[in-house]
Structure 1
């Protein structure tokens, strides 16, 4: 479905306010509220409630699947899947649709960020009179900068004045707006707030999941890095509103790259309670959620629908549900095996389950073939492909209440409950055999290999209808009670927003761009910390068994002597694949058209094994998303003024 957002007024937040408990210092106690006004922020309880709402707003951005689509579809990580509608086809820029101000789902960011910014400003202005300490104000400053940073990367220059003056809390119903320039947003809004937040935030969060000095340092270093690229503008990408690529404070790009490096390495040296997990698998293992590598997350829970922000039994397909993982799952339930060796009685061997390997499939987004042939080429030493995707689909009919003792699968061989029905192969096998009858082998156009009981799919046969699902974002419940659980509900896992590991990438990228490095922290040193960890295996998802293996030295020895931006971007994709980083990474480095201008994938039919190349028309104007049509429609401005407000090309 295409969505046009409702008219946005520069007014106070009208969503769910969440109150902080005074009796417990480790959790956020959420209670509904319909809106904020100045008197609300005049009390300590009001300020605390406003601060808690800043955390809640993350659910309307992270895990919101249509916004998730806007961060990934059209990059080298994802294209549109077989069941995609216009939201996904338009974002792909490959001719299947047209991205415009009504179809761009970056509207989810615009419509969420500005009310949150206004709430943060209300807290900042009223905290002193309410008798609230600088730590709570620092949290508000962090989130105001956080939202402005997302907005400026996505849309270019955006308004600092919501109707009451720059960075002022607004209660008017003003329906006019003036966009500030990119340098103004960074130097007036983002940098000052983050620097003050670093000073005033604690090393350990005030509450579980609360913001800290470390997460503020990560965002300041990343903002410096992004602004440095903007100043340098190596590929002459246009900005809007039009302005000179000069810094109001008189610094050049090199200065900002150095600042990014210095702050990122300072955070690495002073991690507080944060650090790297021992293996990549552990970072994303559902049972290990909220581990010390996750600096910030949009939280959910299976214990309460109120605190979860959505139903625990059936997902709505809208925020604040965490339903992003549905988009990147294919319809594995289509597979068929047989209860008889004559293959007369076809049955469903895999049932939809609330487990990290399965979940609710929507087939809206599909990874191109070269994700598996190039990005994740090394599947032997590097654990990250195995720790990112589900490539082995296992029978679970017992959980679905079926009592078969076995089924007949590929080559009419027996598979028992819990064993593998289908495998996406690590590399192309020339001995695979297809059948074009009906929907082909396994009812999904899979293949067989002599002697194997599982259906198989070569990497080059990955298509818009069948592909490895994203294990790292799969659902997890502790209340399945041995059954299938609630696979149609939104995920009750927290959606990761920021990770400690990114500090290494930020510092390495700044070093590649010329920052002076310190001993032991060259670009190669920093990347090798990440690559070394990627070589440590603690579990084998494909085999569903422990795997204690340390390939860290092999990983580090193959790192190039000289690191370049292309290599850093490839490593970032291996580390953060499918988490929503990719569009921002390619836009920041101005490499989007070069890296993602073409992709290869098979078609949308089950028996479609023909690999085709698709070309995207990524124009310089696409490096900014359009201002949402709903915003333009809601403003009291002339059509000429609205045209001037919109980004060029839309």
Structure 2
């Protein structure tokens, strides 16, 4: 039997076994399908590996000085800065809009290879799991659903970053099988939708919030939320898929109407027990749909380390070095109304000072407070809080936008947007918010949803994707904080003295991939 090889897979298959509530990993050497897939545990091991490498390691892990891969898009928006960008050039290149196939090669090429490695592991599961004896059909369907979910997730990232990409749905029989031409974005999106639709309709995934007794595995809500995101992105530029907004609205409202999820409510003390502080300190709530799992002993989070500016060194900090690697610049802070919006108050989504031994140290800038962990900063230097990727508030905003774009400003759309805004505008009566939203045209209402996405999802790494799909760029003024005006992104200034062009909306195909695969063509403008 032919052996199947994995692209960039010389480090071998990753086996994972359950360790209480956390998946731990144990690397093995390269191995053929015939040798490996001979027991149910073999299939489970490869699927378990997808939970670590399928999203966390290749997109969200934040080690070193660059930050996580998903942060680069935020730097391209011009709204975020990295204190350590002088030590890893990708952030500077993104802000300067000077990315090209060579200088982005290490960053983009590494991410490209990581995602195709995951895709090939998923393809391996899909090609073999039905042949294995000793697995109940229900479990087989769930393993297939998990593999298809992670394949869809990685293709969704690829198609947003690079546009047309090679579409590979079978495991490689030889490395040359990976060197194929780019498929159209439409074909890639069709595969993504097919994968997620299967995972949603043909599995017995539990319908529970993230982490609610299912050891951090995929739920129905996880799949549906990603499918709603896919439809929303595809409905915008450049695909402008027919009925895309209707599809996004349908899936998002299914999640809402399931009754599984709800927004976190504020506690009695809104300063320390606000919903945003509960997010910072709580691993499981009905608002969480999907998170990247971390553990202080097994797989630590680096996010606490990047919440304290390096120039501020209070005594007692356990990290050898801290850096503000995801700093919202003033133009972004001005998206919030400081008189109305709780999210921009100190120690909510962001903070601008730290207290140690009774002394307050002022930052002189903002840093992400949601990622701040007292225990990691002052005791262990090991972050243990999960990173929330998809929350119920995002689904409410997807539904509000998609309904408005497909049906108009309905009471349902207004209600969903009002739910999110009312939590943030904690001193404003909800009826006043609803009345104001009801008075808007469809275009005005959609812009209010977009504003709320920038405010609510500031630390969810979605801003660049919103700019891509809407072709709208938010502008603010220090004289009128909270007022946001949208302009065409093409020709807009990115706050670092650079002007967006059409080519900037996609990353360049990495030079190494262009050299290895003669079937590839480069994105326009590079």
Residues 352 and 552 of structure 1: is their aligned pair in 2 closer, same or farther, counting only changes over 3 Å?
farther
Alignment of 1:541-620 (within 5 A): 552=430, 559=437, 561-562=439-440, 563-592=444-473, 594=487, 597-598=492-493, 614-620=496-502
- Deviation of the 1:43 alpha carbon: 1.9
Conservation of the 8 A alpha-carbon contact between 1:532 and 1:553: no
- Deviation of the 1:108 alpha carbon: 4.3
| Structure 1 SS opposite 2:290 | strand
Find the partner of 1:191 among 193, 203, 206.
Answer: 193
- Deviation of the 1:516 alpha carbon: 6.3
In the alignment, the residues of structure 2 paired with residue 278 and residue 648 of structure 1 have an alpha-carbon distance, to the nearest angstrom, of 47
Residues 290 and 110 of structure 1: is their aligned pair in 2 closer, same or farther, counting only changes over 3 Å?
farther
Find the partner of 2:406 among 482, 505, 514.
Answer: 514
- Deviation of the 1:514 alpha carbon: 2.4
**Counterpart in the other structure of 1:38:** 33
| Structure 1 SS opposite 2:291 | strand
**Counterpart in the other structure of 1:291:** 285
- Deviation of the 1:110 alpha carbon: 1.3
**Counterpart in the other structure of 2:77:** 75
- Deviation of the 1:193 alpha carbon: 0.6
Conservation of the 8 A alpha-carbon contact between 1:101 and 1:627: no
5+ residue gaps, structure 1: 1-7, 162-166, 234-252, 311-321, 335-349, 399-416, 425-465, 537-548, 601-613
In the alignment, the residues of structure 2 paired with residue 382 and residue 509 of structure 1 have an alpha-carbon distance, to the nearest angstrom, of 23
Q: Does 1:528 align with 2:418?
A: yes
In the alignment, the residues of structure 2 paired with residue 159 and residue 528 of structure 1 have an alpha-carbon distance, to the nearest angstrom, of 41
- Deviation of the 1:324 alpha carbon: 4.9
Conservation of the 8 A alpha-carbon contact between 1:20 and 1:28: yes
Residues 392 and 533 of structure 1: is their aligned pair in 2 closer, same or farther, counting only changes over 3 Å?
same
In the alignment, the residues of structure 2 paired with residue 215 and residue 588 of structure 1 have an alpha-carbon distance, to the nearest angstrom, of 22
**Counterpart in the other structure of 1:47:** 43
Conservation of the 8 A alpha-carbon contact between 1:194 and 1:216: yes
Q: Give the greater-gyration-radius structure (CA).
A: 1
**Counterpart in the other structure of 1:403:** none
- Deviation of the 1:521 alpha carbon: 1.4
In the TM superposition, what whole-angstrom CA distance separates every residue of 1:436-482 from its partner, at most 9, and x where no partner exists?
xxxxxxxxxxxxxxxxxxxxxxxxxxxxxx4111111223537x8xx
Conservation of the 8 A alpha-carbon contact between 1:160 and 1:179: yes
**Counterpart in the other structure of 1:257:** 245
Alignment of 1:55-134 (within 5 A): 55-57=51-53, 58-60=55-57, 61-64=59-62, 65-81=67-83, 84-85=86-87, 86-93=89-96, 98-103=99-104, 105-130=107-132, 131=135, 132-134=139-141
In the alignment, the residues of structure 1 paired with residue 278 and residue 79 of structure 2 have an alpha-carbon distance, to the nearest angstrom, of 18
Residues 421 and 173 of structure 1: is their aligned pair in 2 closer, same or farther, counting only changes over 3 Å?
closer
Residues 49 and 153 of structure 1: is their aligned pair in 2 closer, same or farther, counting only changes over 3 Å?
same
- Deviation of the 1:578 alpha carbon: 2.8
In the alignment, the residues of structure 2 paired with residue 171 and residue 284 of structure 1 have an alpha-carbon distance, to the nearest angstrom, of 48
In the alignment, the residues of structure 1 paired with residue 398 and residue 503 of structure 2 have an alpha-carbon distance, to the nearest angstrom, of 26
Find the partner of 1:382 among 323, 329, 342.
Answer: 342
Find the partner of 2:380 among 486, 493, 496.
Answer: 486
Conservation of the 8 A alpha-carbon contact between 1:135 and 1:202: no
Q: Does 1:625 align with 2:507?
A: yes
In the alignment, the residues of structure 2 paired with residue 103 and residue 125 of structure 1 have an alpha-carbon distance, to the nearest angstrom, of 34
| Structure 2 SS opposite 1:503 | helix
Alignment of 1:166-565 (within 5 A): 167-174=169-176, 176-187=179-190, 189-199=191-201, 200=203, 201-204=205-208, 207-230=214-237, 253-272=241-260, 274-279=261-266, 281-282=275-276, 285-302=279-296, 304=297, 307-308=298-299, 322-324=301-303, 326-327=305-306, 329-333=308-312, 350-351=314-315, 353=317, 360-372=321-333, 374-386=334-346, 387-394=348-355, 396=356, 398=357, 417=358, 419-422=359-362, 466-477=364-375, 484-487=378-381, 489=382, 491-515=383-407, 520-522=411-413, 524-536=414-426, 552=430, 559=437, 561-562=439-440, 563-565=444-446
Residues 351 and 106 of structure 1: is their aligned pair in 2 closer, same or farther, counting only changes over 3 Å?
farther
In the TM superposition, what whole-angstrom CA distance separates every residue of 1:530-551 from its partner, at most 9, and x where no partner exists?
1112234xxxxxxxxxxxx786
Conservation of the 8 A alpha-carbon contact between 1:84 and 1:365: no
**Counterpart in the other structure of 1:147:** 154
Conservation of the 8 A alpha-carbon contact between 2:276 and 2:349: no
Residues 560 and 326 of structure 1: is their aligned pair in 2 closer, same or farther, counting only changes over 3 Å?
farther
Conservation of the 8 A alpha-carbon contact between 1:80 and 1:92: no
Looking at secondary structure, tell me which structure has more helix per residue.
Answer: 2
**Counterpart in the other structure of 2:270:** none
Which segment is superposed worse, 586-595 or 114-123?
586-595
In the alignment, the residues of structure 2 paired with residue 564 and residue 99 of structure 1 have an alpha-carbon distance, to the nearest angstrom, of 37
Conservation of the 8 A alpha-carbon contact between 1:41 and 1:47: yes
| Structure 2 SS opposite 1:353 | coil
CA RMSD of aligned residues (A): 3.1
Conservation of the 8 A alpha-carbon contact between 1:77 and 1:578: no
- Deviation of the 1:277 alpha carbon: 1.2
5+ residue gaps, structure 2: 267-273, 475-486
In the TM superposition, what whole-angstrom CA distance separates every residue of 1:89-112 from its partner, at most 9, and x where no partner exists?
100026xx5454432634443122
Task: Give the TM-score of the pair, scaled to structure 2.
Answer: 0.81
In the alignment, the residues of structure 1 paired with residue 341 and residue 104 of structure 2 have an alpha-carbon distance, to the nearest angstrom, of 41
| Structure 1 SS opposite 2:415 | helix
In the alignment, the residues of structure 1 paired with residue 320 and residue 278 of structure 2 have an alpha-carbon distance, to the nearest angstrom, of 16
